[in-house]
Amino acid sequence: MAAVLETTSLVRRFGGLVATDNVTFSLEKGARHALIGPNGAGKTTFINLLTGVLQPTSGRIVLEGQDITGLKPEDRVRRGLARTFQINQLFGGMTPMETLALAVSERNGGGRDWWRPLGRASGMAEEIGELATRFRLTDVLEEKTVNLAYGKQRLLELAVAFACKPRVLLLDEPAAGVPEAERQELLDTVASLPRDVSVLLIEHDMDLVFSFADRISVLVNGALFTEGTVQEVSTDPKVRAVYLGESVDD
Amino acid sequence: MLTILFDGIAYGMLLFVLACGLAVTLGLMNFVNLAHGAFAMAGGYVMAVMVNRLGVPFLLTLPFAFAVPALIGLVLERTLYQRLYTRNHLDQVLFSIGLVFMAVASVDYVMGSQEQLVQLPSWLKGRTEVLGIQVGIYRSFIIAVCSVLVIVLQLILTRTRFGSRLRAAVDDPRVARGLGINVSLIFATTFAFGSGLAGLGGALGAEILGLDPTFPLKFMIYFLIVVTVGGTTSITGPFVASLLLGVADVAGKYYVPSAGAFVIYTLMIVILVLRPQGLFARPR
Amino acid sequence: MASPPHALSSAQVSAALGRAARWNIPEILFWLVAVGAYFALPTRHLILNEIAILGLFAVSLDLILGYAGIVSLGHAAFFGLGAYTAGLLAKHGFGDPLLGLAAAAAMAAALGLVTSFLVLRGADLTKLMVTLGVALVLGEVANQMSWLTGGADGLQGVNMKPVLGLFEFDIFGSVAYAYSLAVTFVLVVVARRIVSSPFGLSLRSIRDNPLRARAIGIPVNRRLVAVYTLSAAYAGIAGALLAQTTQFVSLEVLAFHRSADVLLVLTIGGVGYLYGGLIGAVVFKVLQDFLSAITPQYWQFWIGVILVVMVLAGRERMTEKARDLVRRVTGRGRPTSGAAPAAGGH
């Protein structure tokens, strides 16, 4: 299978600290790939490098054969690399409907359209309807985002990223903080993401990792510690040693 | 030439005493206090009233020029300012502009809009020659007083317990709170002290800067320049910025009077664009 | 795909998204009253003219403050530049008002475009200082170039031609008010169209959360540059209106208190819905008129009191309440949860 997202010898230093240490990583097309590691392993830095929030000290990032190392975050999104955030980053004053309309219209280059009222673009309403159904937001489409239940906000977080029609979707702890009652809805939604989107899941929750991913990479001290199938990694004694004290469900 | 440098230094020192309280407000509580100049004006008017109407000797008025604004500052901080620390900058700007407008109109109402002229004692008047340079006696006096103030400030900040707590609080208020430092008390004290210093600066500077009800608006930009260009992480930054500004302003007005304040403002914009954190900020 | 019972039809989604773009009753009433004032208050055309101009100026500030979250202490820079542009054109024989407006808008937009790159760097405080600095530099330039601007004496000899070649400006300000009101109306119509477009929505999203805005592919800086430039052009036109209708320009158009006043005007009326600037202008001018009648010269004191009280009382909460009231009265806006989605229809 072809790699859709690759990094080559990616390094990021903060002063003397090496937060990302020579990471060469590849995400296969259509993959369900999880990136795990203890706290402080450099997962967040790695995501920030992929999305362009941070620039690497050295190394390259390639998306579908094109070098995106120097691109701004917004340009990477346009090329098909979208993300969700571990802590909700939503537009509190807007409704889910507006939020999705915005994402869809930006994807179609509609953000430069400063004259036609919102919602006139053809196909926009249909697409918002589909997104709302897929992410179970239909009944809250017109509520203010700040007033939504946390689980719904998490779903919206997923929906906004998905509305960018990404080839690669980075999910940063999608289930973090979601109350038990709303959890299953979220997991089902994640599990039913279409297969043409390649997913990199950054997660602490091993239940979710084992049920969702088919490959796992382990990051320790900024470096890639090991990589393999769920079966290989979950039985690897070295990984267990790294996670000693961490919550690994047996 | 050297006379200009000398005058510029006197002017810069004055600006520092006037503005250093603002540096703390901004650095410690991230509060944009556009009304800082009003405290300076208060000090100036306390001095002017005491000298002109009550006949108190100039030097004796200075402690009052410090104490009165400090007290006003303390009261306002406890009653009004502290409610706004957590608000956004727009609210802070609106609030402090409101205070300035009130101060300007009140002083205008009570004292009239004319400039206050203060008779300096005769021993502070005139010029003298030091090492072949013509220097004004009053400006030498200002340099002397302000230097003492700067040294005392520096000692307080670096040598005392209060100073180290203040520095800790400026660095990171949350951590400081965690260490059991009473940040709110430190801030009230510092706010009052800064207001007092501004008042003292206003009194000392009445002769050089002029004193009328529009004082807080006229000099607001200068104080802000000192603080934004100097940065708020130390007092050295604002001090150097004050001296630079003072010398540049005096020299500019002398050599290129037609350019006016143009040079200063342009320079400020350029510096802020190149170094948004200030000239002397520590790289983060 | 089976739709859940609550699902909205595509037509309903389109209607809901387009709702902000539709005219509502209070808005229409507002403009009817503004036109009605022309006939009802024939002796107050001069102050009505000032209100229209100040309103437009505040709307221009709302574009950057309310829709992009940039606090400016130097918006008078654009107002003043527009005023001098229109005034100088008219003085040197190009007295056609609309030509003057266009030139003022172009000059102010150019300044806005150039300075936007300076303003958009750095934190709030740096923005404040840079906007303030730009206005001060301009004020200083106007003062020094007295051969061109008349310096402290003001720009004399501004001779305006009739509006559209038909309506000569009169000393009662009647044509002036009609002209300013018409220009303000047209520009507000354009502005509301812009803010309810996808571009406008992207501005709101940037104000709400720039991090996420970037993460859905919005070029944040380019959008801010665009709206800053637009806002500058609006302010320039407001300045031009003042120069044309008073046939005089003084240094005061660039003064700090003009920047502060417009911030106050906008705050009184409420930030972020365009009409705040217009309503604020009415309240501000009426207050000014009233207060300076009681305590001439010291009315600034009361403005200060209003500012302080307004901030302490919670400015944003007040605006929010007022807006909710308007929504409830007109049935416009979002239905609360559980309400039928079609309630906000036609």
- Supply the pLDDT for residue C107: 95
Q: Coil, strand, or helix at residue A220?
A: strand
> Does residue A248 lie in a domain region?
no
Query: pLDDT tens digits, residue range A100-151?
Result: 999 998 888 777 777 777 767 777 888 888 899 899 998 888 888 999 988 8
What digits encode the pLDDT tens for the residues A41-66? 888 889 999 999 889 999 999 999 89
Residues shown for chain C: 346
pLDDT band at B260 (very low <50, low <70, confident <90, very high): low
Would the CB atoms of C136 and B272 count as touching at under 8 Å?
no
Residue B24, helix vs strand vs coil: helix
| Planar angle of CA C132, C138, C140, nearest 5 degrees | 100
**Residues in C touching A101 (Cβ below 8 Å):** 17, 198, 201
Q: Check whether B263 has a pLDDT greater than 50.
A: yes
The answer to the question of residue A227 being in a domain is yes
The C-alpha atoms of residue A118 and residue C274 are separated, in whole angstroms, by: 17
Q: How far is C136 from chain B (nearest CA, A)?
A: 7
Residue A59 phi/psi, 5-degree rounding, is: 105, 175
Q: According to the model, what pLDDT value does residue B283 have?
A: 45
CATH of residue A86's domain is 3.40.50.300
Contact: chain C with chain B (3+ CB pairs below 8 Å): yes
Distance, CA of C319 to chain centre: 17
- The number of domains in chain A is 1
Q: Is residue A212 part of a domain?
A: yes
In a domain? residue A182: yes
DSSP H or E run through C241 = helix C220-246
C21 chain-A contacts, CB cut-off 8 A = 117-118
- Hey, which of A194-198, B53-57, C115-119, C331-335 has the most confident mean pLDDT? A194-198
In a domain, A247, yes or no: no
Asked if the structure places residue A159 within a domain, the reply is: yes
Distance from CA of B233 to the nearest CA of C (A): 15
Per-residue model confidence as pLDDT tens digits over B217-243:
888 888 888 888 887 777 788 888 888
For the cut 60, the answer to whether the pLDDT of residue C333 exceeds it is: no
Calpha distance B115→C59 (Å, rounded) = 37
Query: Beta-carbon neighbour count of residue B116 at 10 Å?
Result: 20
Contact C307 B95 (CB under 8 A): yes
Region of poorest pLDDT, from B25-29, B101-105, B185-189, C41-45: B25-29
Mutate to test the interface with B, among C140, C271, C309 (most CBs of B within 10 A): C140
- What is the 3 state secondary structure string of A120-188? CCCCHHHHHHHHHHHCCCHHHCCCCHHHCCHHHHHHHHHHHHHHCCCCEEEEECCCCCCCHHHHHHHHH
**Which ranges of chain B would DSSP assign to H, the alpha helix?**
2-29, 36-52, 58-79, 89-111, 137-159, 161-171, 173-178, 183-209, 215-230, 236-255, 262-274
**Mean pLDDT score of chain A:** 86
pLDDT tens, residue by residue, B108-146: 888 887 888 887 777 777 777 777 777 788 888 888 888
Chain B contact present for C303, CB below 8 A? yes
CB-based contacts of A6, cutoff 8 Å, min separation 6: A24, A25, A26, A27, A61, A62
Give domain status of residue A249, yes or no: no
Could you read off the pLDDT of C59-113 as tens digits, one per residue? Answer: 999 999 988 888 898 999 999 999 999 999 988 888 889 999 999 999 999 999 9
Which pLDDT score is estimated for C114? Answer: 92
Task: Decide: helix, strand or coil at residue C234.
Answer: helix
* pLDDT confidence tier of residue A170, bands split at 50, 70 and 90: very high
**CA B82 to chain centroid:** 20
Task: State ipTM.
Answer: 0.87
A77 contacts in chain C (CB < 8 Å)? 214-217
CB contact burial A198-229 (16+ within 10 A = b; e otherwise): bbbbbbbbbebbeebbebbbbbbebbbbebee
Whole-model pTM?
0.86
- Interval C126-142 mean pLDDT: 87
What are chain B's partners, defined as 3 or more CB pairs within 8 angstroms?
A: C
Chain B CB contacts of C134 under 8 Å are: 269
Which structural domain, as residue segments, surrounds residue A46? Answer: 3-242
Q: Tell me the pLDDT band of C124, cut-offs 50, 70 and 90.
A: confident
Provide the pLDDT for residue B113. 78
User: Which residues make beta-bridge pairs with B134?
Assistant: B129
Q: Is the pLDDT of residue C2 over 50?
A: no
Top mean-pLDDT range of A20-29, B121-130, B133-142, C285-294: A20-29
- Domains of chain B, earliest start first: 2-274 (1.10.3470)
pLDDT at A37: 85
Residue A250 falls within a domain, yes or no?
Answer: no
Please tell me the distance from the alpha carbon of residue A210 to that of residue A206, in angstroms, as a whole number.
6
What pLDDT is attached to residue C321? 66
Written as six digits, the tokens of C145 are 């170039």
Sorted by sequence, the CB contacts under 8 Å of residue A121 that are 6+ apart come out as A105, A108, A110, A113, C198
